[in-house]
Structure 1
């Protein structure tokens, strides 16, 4: 493990404040007599406002890395910081507060409450957020104002995913962590969801980290982190990000 130089692709834009600072991250899962190493010696900086894609096949370690950054899991070795908060060794209470106050999560499956409307699903989060945005604003950002009084069963898959995104951003998180947000969606609907995530990144300055196994999505990122066998294989910068509407797969 070595310090990163200013022009190392593992580091974000030189001079920009780091949102995440990880060094020597490792994660081993113990299942009976078998140890499974999911991450090994991962070094990475992510700076404020970046759009990062974590790209890799199933089992490459990308979900484990995202879960550690989000405080849903803890590393077996190494160190990880969010801004000036050390996540390594933090108590469960501190990690809960970190997730509540700083992180928005979007998963492949939407996890909406079926008995609540779009508006009510989004409003739930505002009760625990210290400085939530207006519910109308969050719903408008994902283009669902006309559907705000509908229930999840009355929505398409893409609309349900956009509700999940509105729920994630209404608390004004500093980072948006997305685990295969288009994995359960068709081509056109997936691109629509990516448009919403790109808009949040651009207009709110929210740092976005998106997991995918779809290499085409990499073109919309500032940097692409390629993972394999639990390690970072390489990191590439995109000189010119493309909009989701330009993607094809």
Structure 2
């Protein structure tokens, strides 16, 4: 099913380069190490699943890749953006121009409709798609004028995905996007992410503790105690409707 793929990617296709990244936090007199010398290359159009238990460092890695945090040591580069050397303004520009985020909780503005929640993001994006198109891609055309309180959890998560992809980001970073959803709804969300990856050629990185989701990835990155323990490549990507857990 899977073959070893430790940093085996086509170097001509690499858009994200993480090299020897470590991250430590100081809490009083205690130093907490979240990442230890992590190196990872990601290619355009890949679907990556990052697996690990709570406290393994996967959210820290995702935040550093998304420009929400910076490494203590090491280099992070997205194309010509040196994120590890960028200041707040540079990181803000990087997030605005290149990254879409999907979190476990939807973070929608309750006083705005689904369409208005998506439109709010497109107003600050340089190459945004029409909000109605983004909602159509996630199957919510008929619910675009509903408020979050009128939508199910799965529908709210699809609005969050539409909001993220409306920026036409190069990379979509998803932090436990199915964690708050029931089984059928979670699979529907995974189908949406697979469609975005395939149709828009967006680099998608999903962090999760759900090992079943790994089967739909191009490559699977396993983290434990802040270190990458294994990177594997799936010989065949499973369809979301084939997953069981």
Query: Shorter-chain TM-score: what band?
Result: over 0.9
Which residue of the partner structure matches residue 234 of structure 1? 230
Matched residue SS, 1:245: helix
The one-character-per-residue Cα deviations of 1:197-236 (angstroms, maximum 9, x if unpaired) are: 0000000000000000000000000000000000000001
How many Å apart are 1:11 and its aligned residue? 2.5
Which residue of the partner structure matches residue 141 of structure 1? 137
Q: How does 1:7-86 map to 2 (within 5 A)?
A: 9-86=5-82
2:122/2:167 contact within 8 Å kept: yes
Matched residue SS, 2:230: strand
2:214/2:220 contact within 8 Å kept: yes
Q: What is the CA–CA distance in structure 1 between the aligned matches of 2:111 and 2:180, rounded to whole Å?
A: 22
Task: Answer 1 or 2: higher relative contact order, Cα 8 Å, separation at least 6.
Answer: 2
Which residue of the partner structure matches residue 224 of structure 1? 220
Q: What is the CA–CA distance in structure 2 between the aligned matches of 1:55 and 1:73, rounded to whole Å?
A: 20
Counting matched residue pairs gives: 243
The one-character-per-residue Cα deviations of 1:33-68 (angstroms, maximum 9, x if unpaired) are: 111000001010000000000000000000000000
Which residue of the partner structure matches residue 243 of structure 2? 247
Identify which range, 212-221 or 80-89, moves more after superposition: 80-89
How many Å apart are 1:16 and its aligned residue? 4.1
Q: What is the CA–CA distance in structure 2 between the aligned matches of 1:128 and 1:93, rounded to whole Å?
A: 15
2:178/2:186 contact within 8 Å kept: yes
1:12/1:47 contact within 8 Å kept: no
Which residue of the partner structure matches residue 3 of structure 1? none
Q: What is the CA–CA distance in structure 1 between the aligned matches of 2:11 and 2:17, rounded to whole Å?
A: 14
How many Å apart are 1:134 and its aligned residue? 1.2
> Against the structure 1 CA distance between its residues 95 and 191, is the aligned structure 2 distance closer, same or farther, given a 3 Å change threshold?
same
The one-character-per-residue Cα deviations of 1:103-146 (angstroms, maximum 9, x if unpaired) are: 00000000000000000000001110001111111000000000
- RMSD (Å), alpha carbons: 1.1
Structure 1 ranges of 4+ moved more than 6 A: none
- TM-score normalised by L of structure 2: 0.97
> Which of 128, 134, 147 does residue 132 from structure 1 map onto?
128
Q: What is the CA–CA distance in structure 1 between the aligned matches of 2:16 and 2:88, rounded to whole Å?
A: 19
Which sections of structure 2, spanning at least 5 residues, go unmatched? Answer: none
> Against the structure 1 CA distance between its residues 15 and 79, is the aligned structure 2 distance closer, same or farther, given a 3 Å change threshold?
closer
Q: What is the CA–CA distance in structure 2 between the aligned matches of 1:201 and 1:119, rounded to whole Å?
A: 22
Q: What is the CA–CA distance in structure 1 between the aligned matches of 2:198 and 2:129, rounded to whole Å?
A: 17
Which residue of the partner structure matches residue 212 of structure 1? 208
Matched residue SS, 1:143: coil
Identify which range, 174-183 or 16-25, moves more after superposition: 16-25
How many Å apart are 1:246 and its aligned residue? 0.4
